[in-house]
Amino acid sequence: MTRIATYGANQLYLSRITALNERINKLTTQVVTEKKSPNYTGIAEDSNRLINFENEKSRSEAFIKNNDSIQTTIGLANVSLTAVQTTMQTFRDRLDSFRTNKNRTQEDIESIQNLAFQSMIDMQSYLSSTADGKYLFSGGLVSQEPVQLPAATRSGFTDIYDGFSVTYPTTRSAHMLDTVTKTATTGNLTFNAAAGTITAANAGTLSDFPVGSRITASGASASNNQTYTVVANTGTQIKVSRLTTEGPSAATISYYNAGDETHVQTLNANLTFTPGTDTIQVSSTTGFSVGQVFSVAGTTSNDGSYKIQSITPGPPNDSITVESVKVGATETVAATLTAESWYKGDNISIGQRIDQDRTVSVGVFASDPAFEKAFRAMGMIAQGQYGTAGGLENNLDRVEDALYLIRDAMLHPAGNQAPFGTEEASDLESVLSQLGTTQSLINTKTEKHKSYIGFLDDRIIAMENVDKNEAITLLLDDQRALEAGYQTLSKVREMSLINFMK
């Protein structure tokens, strides 16, 4: 043996060099990844807190993603409501102009009625908006279109609501009614042609039908299976005839001569009204013919406009039968009465969690009084064909009533004289304000989550990231130490006693 280094010394040198290599590999990984360790084992002391922080960050990121989705939904709802607002404003302004026009022509009347119906169609479209395949304004029934008007054209609408026999509802309770009777509850229904009434066998079982609601009878004879407007209701008996037994009563008849719609003609006479048959007995001759429209004033219960279906002229008396939907036959039968609302959604809010402690929803239904009052105002104007007893020109009081409703729909209260009783307080301004408040809340929560994520990122970085400058310095030191170690090992291995003895 001539070498000075021993086996033990060589092994010690190699173990030290191997340790340096391992440190260099670790430091190289840290410099490249900027992480203290590729797994949690390398940071065992902080691993539990780090996992908790990462979970908190993931939860906040999920909230932000969900909030962005809700903001998109609310943004689409805002677009729809802005369009609804424009529609309502246009209708209100045009109706106000129509009200102040004292020289209305047939064209003016039909124009405002067409606008009213088109506004209803537009609102139906806007309130049937969707986001991600879900209807925005139908409550919990997100797959159900919320607004379904009874007709797609104005002619179809006036076929249903002629403005006389069947009138558009004037109250919210009648407008929103959606129910069907059951024979097990009501018992048989008695249709009385002479009185123009429908009576339930069981007392109080028809109380769900408010005055003004539109009902459809089925299960009776063909002449009774019709659509009616509830004129009066005791809870047990519904009156569907427009006429009330009265007379003879002194009254004034107003009418226009054919071809002259400028000069109103009047006739004073005693009138006798018979419901069921819907006849008016006039104490003098009128000279009227079939199709004539006239108005009655001065009676106790029968003021209004009528159109002649048939007439038996005097002298001495004219007997006039007016156009109307009549109870066709007297019978007692197991029939049902149905009232169907235009609103097909429900009133269930679907909550969306925007934070640990807060849940919000779009929370706007197409049945909201703001929209319901607007639909009601438009429907009141759109009903009835020109030249009929239910036409707008013969029922101009509808203009003031509808104007109040559309104003109240936009900003409640519209005034002190509500034509159909106290209206619900909601209006379009409050609906838009509610959405704006929800948007602001979501923005606040989202910013909170972003700030929290920033804080967590700082803590996570502090726990799992290395100081890159420090790691590079250590890497260079170890690199130099490794190079020196290899050089030293090489020199030691070259040393021997032979070289020493030379």
Q: What CA–CA distance (Å, rounded) separates 16 from 460? A: 34
* Structure-block tokens of residue 294: 């006239």
H or E element that contains 226: none
Report residues of the chain scoring pLDDT below 70.
1-7, 9-10, 13, 27, 30-32, 34, 36-47, 461, 463-465, 467-468, 470-471, 474-475, 478, 482, 489-502
| Contact of 366 with 146, CB cutoff 8 Å | yes
Class of domain 61-173+342-442: mainly alpha
Say what the pLDDT of residue 3 is.
Answer: 53
| Contact of 81 with 431, CB cutoff 8 Å | yes
Q: Indicate the burial class of 6 (C-beta count within 10 angstroms; 0-12, 13-18, 19 or more).
A: exposed
* Structure-block tokens of residue 154: 């104005």
Domains of the chain by residue range: 61-173+342-442, 177-241+329-339, 246-322
| Contact of 242 with 389, CB cutoff 8 Å | no
Angle at which helix 369-382 crosses helix 428-464, to 10 degrees, equals 150
Q: What CA–CA distance (Å, rounded) separates 86 from 157? A: 23
Q: What CA–CA distance (Å, rounded) separates 445 from 357? A: 10
Say what the pLDDT of residue 489 is.
Answer: 67
Instruction: Give the 3-state secondary structure of residue 190.
Output: strand
Say what the pLDDT of residue 493 is.
Answer: 65
DSSP for 216-227, written as a single string: EEESS-TTT-SE
Say what the pLDDT of residue 10 is.
Answer: 67
| Contact of 138 with 366, CB cutoff 8 Å | yes
